[in-house]
């Protein structure tokens, strides 16, 4: 007997969604494997010494990343705040409790201006929650070595580096050089790599602490992972007696992420890539011959082993803009949520990393139907994602 893949959504009266946008927090980030769900559920039935559990998590993180130590927190955003705070306070409990009211003498964090992005909130907000001052280096499109060197005075607690598709991808100081300059001034380097597959390379390039999401590519429950130097990981963990108290993670989150990390280390990466490529080829074929539509397979901009289908739209020939096509796909049942973060440039993308069985075929049918009839979308508001990110919050319960 065939089961209904939408039974849970229907029972909760929730919109049916196919996620071809990526590991987006607004869509629940990812779907966990059965082993992860089982580990999360099992932990709920037991008491545990949380320090013991975090010690076990540190061992798994060390195996996964090659770091000296690691800990789990509520999210990657929380990881940023805790990592920065740890660099400010070290292992001094009194200093921890003083944050953010009294950030102390080492109260600045340097970051390239081109890395001051938003991941749903401004990255600098996660830094400023500690009481630290954010010191931008260079301009949005150009940061030079001498500018970083000039910023690294005695008030700097950490140098912060962001790896993301949302940062500027040219004119920035490469991580290895960034770390070399910071270390020459005795300043530790924190890397925000929340959505990255590479779990070892950033430490290898000189990062002292690296922050990952536990619930994006890893597929764990909502969580963040801090990995790196043992002394700095301990200092970040100590923030749980201060600003980190509201960022703590529960036993179920730690157990689930540990299972997700174990699953990640045992995955068949080649088979996953093959399934993703098959979906991309299917979609590419579905769009052949459509007026005003040119589809191409493009690589991930930060080097993740992941390709996406980019759908370039000639609005005049297609009868609708990329934004309207994206909105039209989102109005279907099930809704097909595409990657629309650059629709103002005339394209949207489809990310295959979160596809569930049978969904690639549904997406192909939806693409062929919607993109073949651009004029039918004339009445759809041409929403701009730049402004739309806040709409869900403003409209909630309105």
Place of tokens 């289908």: 309
Domain count, the chain: 2
Q: Are 250 and 305 found together in one domain?
A: no
209: which residues sit within 8 A by CB, 6+ positions away? 83, 86, 87, 188, 189, 190, 191, 226, 227, 228, 229, 232, 233, 236
Burial of 316 (0-12, 13-18, 19+ CB in 10 A): exposed
Does residue 154 fall inside a structural domain?
Answer: yes
Do 216 and 301 share a structural domain?
no
In whole angstroms, give the CA distance from residue 183 to residue 154.
13
Residues 74 and 21 in one domain: no
CATH number at residue 72: 3.40.640.10
Same domain, 214 and 277: no
Asked, for residue 1, whether it belongs to a domain, the answer is: no
Whether residue 181 lies inside any domain: the answer is yes
Same structural domain for residues 164 and 137?
yes
- Same domain? 234 vs 106: yes
Domain boundary among 246, 266, 286: 266
CA distance 133 to 108: 5
- Given 236, 266, 296, the domain boundary residue is 266
Q: Write phi, then psi, for 44 (nearest 5 degrees).
A: -65, -20
Tokens linked to 50: 């949380």
- Length of the chain (residues): 398
319 and 342 assigned to the same domain: yes
Q: Is 245 within the bounds of a domain?
A: yes
Of the residues 214, 232, 266, the one at which a domain ends: 266
Whether the CB-CB separation of 206 and 159 falls below 8 Å is answered with: no
Specify whether 45 is located in the same domain as 142: yes
Closest CA to 90 of 292, 235, 269: 235
Q: What does 275-293 look like in DSSP terms, one character per residue? A: HHHHHHHHHHHHTTT-TTE
> What is the pTM assigned to this prediction?
0.92
Tokens of 170: 């040219």
Residues 174 and 241 in one domain: yes
Q: Which run of H or E residues covers position 108?
A: strand 108-112
Q: How far apart are CA 297 and CA 309, in angstroms?
A: 5
Q: Which pLDDT does position 29 carry in this prediction?
A: 84
Task: Please state whether beta strands 224-228 and 69-73 pair in parallel, antiparallel, or not at all (unpaired).
Answer: antiparallel
Question: Residue 281: CB partners within 8 Å, gap ≥ 6?
Answer: none
Beta bridge partners of 134: 109
Whether residue 130 sits in one domain with residue 185: yes
180 and 48 in a common domain: yes
List the Cα angle 176/128/187 in 5-degree steps: 30
Angle between helices 269-286 and 359-371 (to 10 degrees): 20
DSSP character string of 213-241: ESSSTT--SS-EEEEE-HHHHHHHHHGGG
247: containing domain: 34-266
Dist CA 8 CA 14 (whole Å): 8
In a domain, 174, yes or no: yes
Looking at residue 387, its pLDDT comes to 66
Tell me which residue has tokens 């607690």. Answer: 157
Mean pLDDT of each 10-residue bin along the chain, 398 residues long: 83 92 86 94 97 98 96 97 98 97 96 92 96 96 97 98 90 97 98 92 96 93 97 98 96 96 92 95 96 95 90 95 93 94 93 94 96 88 67 83
Q: What is the pLDDT of residue 384?
A: 62
């Amino acid at each position: 007997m065939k089961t209904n893949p939408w039974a849970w959504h229907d029972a909760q009266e929730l919109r049916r969604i196919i996620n071809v946008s990526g590991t987006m927090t607004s869509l629940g980030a990812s779907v966990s494997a059965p082993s992860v769900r089982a580990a999360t559920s099992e932990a709920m039935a037991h008491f545990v010494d949380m320090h013991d559990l975090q010690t076990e998590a540190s061992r798994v993180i060390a195996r996964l990343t090659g770091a000296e130590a690691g800990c789990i927190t509520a999210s990657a955003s929380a990881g940023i705040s805790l990592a920065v705070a740890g660099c400010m306070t070290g292992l001094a409990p009194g200093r921890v409790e003083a944050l953010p009211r009294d950030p102390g003498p080492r109260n600045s964090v340097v970051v390239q201006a081109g890395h001051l992005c938003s991941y749903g909130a401004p990255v600098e907000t996660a830094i400023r929650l500690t009481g630290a001052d954010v010191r931008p280096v260079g301009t949005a499109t150009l940061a030079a070595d001498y500018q970083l060197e000039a910023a690294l005075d005695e008030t700097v607690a950490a140098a912060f580096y962001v790896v993301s598709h949302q940062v500027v991808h040219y004119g920035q100081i490469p991580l290895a050089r960034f770390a070399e300059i910071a270390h020459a001034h005795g300043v530790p380097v924190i890397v925000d790599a929340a959505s990255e597959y590479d779990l070892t390379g950033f430490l290898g390039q000189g990062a002292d602490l690296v922050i990952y999401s536990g619930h994006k590519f890893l597929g764990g429950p909502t969580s963040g992972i801090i990995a790196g130097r043992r002394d700095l990981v301990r200092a970040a963990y100590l923030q749980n007696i201060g600003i980190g108290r509201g960022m703590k993670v529960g036993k179920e989150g730690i157990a689930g992420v540990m299972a997700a990390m174990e699953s990640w280390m045992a995955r068949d990466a080649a088979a996953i890539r093959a399934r993703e490529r098959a979906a991309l080829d299917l979609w590419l074929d579905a769009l052949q011959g459509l007026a005003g539509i040119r589809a191409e397979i493009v690589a991930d901009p930060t080097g993740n082993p992941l390709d996406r289908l980019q759908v370039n739209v000639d609005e005049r020939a297609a009868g609708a803009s990329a934004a309207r096509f994206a909105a039209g796909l989102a109005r279907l049942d099930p809704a097909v949520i595409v990657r629309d973060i650059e629709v103002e440039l005339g394209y949207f993308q489809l990310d295959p990393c979160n596809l569930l069985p049978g969904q690639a075929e549904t997406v192909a049918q939806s693409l062929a139907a919607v993109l073949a009839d651009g004029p039918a979308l004339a009445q759809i508001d041409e929403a701009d994602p730049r402004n739309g990110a806040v709409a869900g919050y403003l409209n909630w319960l309105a």
